[in-house]
Amino acid sequence: MATLTLNNGVKMPQEGFGVYQIDDLETCKQAVKDALEIGYRSLDTAQAYHNEEAVGAAIAESSVDRQDIFLTTKVWISNYGYEQTKASVEESLRKLQTDYLDLVLLHQPYGDYYGAYRALEDMYEEGKLRAIGVSNFYPDRYVDLVKFNRIVPAVNQLETHVFHQRQIDREYLQKYGTQIESWGPFAEGRNDFFNNATLKEIGAEHDKTAAQVALRFLIQEGVVIIPKSTHQKRMQENLDIWDFALTAAEIEQITALDTKTSLFFDHADPQRVESVTQFTL
């Protein structure tokens, strides 16, 4: 598995396994165990997913050493604020059955994310967190956070896929040294993703599926990906993207698919802010 080096020297696998919307805890635990068995070594969960305990149990029951797993979780906004964030991360450590985390992100750019981020900075300096970062921070809030805190985020996890390639975001992330990570690399099937003619035609040239082409595109663009599936066959297919490369012409074709617009929601939309901030753990 290829790795990328974060801005503090920590190496992060470029492909991992996400557990968003795997709500049943037994299903989640089995999916994580299967993913580790197949070869995934990076796991991405969150307080808001309500499955940290299942992920922790899967790691404990697997044959893979904890030190060989890159483990990420995210702090939800109802746990923001300095003291609340520290307490919530300690709770995540307990649920995940570990004494350190490889990466902790602030899940949304709302509420007291300054107090929350400073808590992460202190826990990082205490050695409990190997890297810290953010999720869903658009360029304005991302730059603001960078300018007024001690530690530049190692990662910004954003909706990133062939239909929303985040070129402007990536310019600012590169400027300040933050790694982009994709959530929703398959756009959750929207825009008839899996039947896209461009992706299928390119896939036919490499004996790959549209999904594999889409993942390979992100990999070649330097994006970290965390595809999700509860089916072993799909998990394996999502890993089988390291034995081919897209040509410059194919990259250009896929780049042309970019709509520069979210297929889900705009985090700068006041109605979206109202909706997200009503949700508490």
Task: Report the distance separating Cα 280 and Cα 126, nearest Å.
Answer: 28
Q: Catalytic residue, from 20, 40, 49, 82: name it.
A: 49
Active site residue 82: no
Q: Which of 173, 45, 168, 175 is nearest to 107 (CA)?
A: 45
Q: Is the dihedral of CA 192, 40, 14, 100 positive or negative?
A: positive
CA separation for the pair 60, 54 (Å, rounded): 10
Query: Whose CA is closest to 225, among 165, 166, 184?
Result: 184
Q: Which positions are catalytic?
A: 49
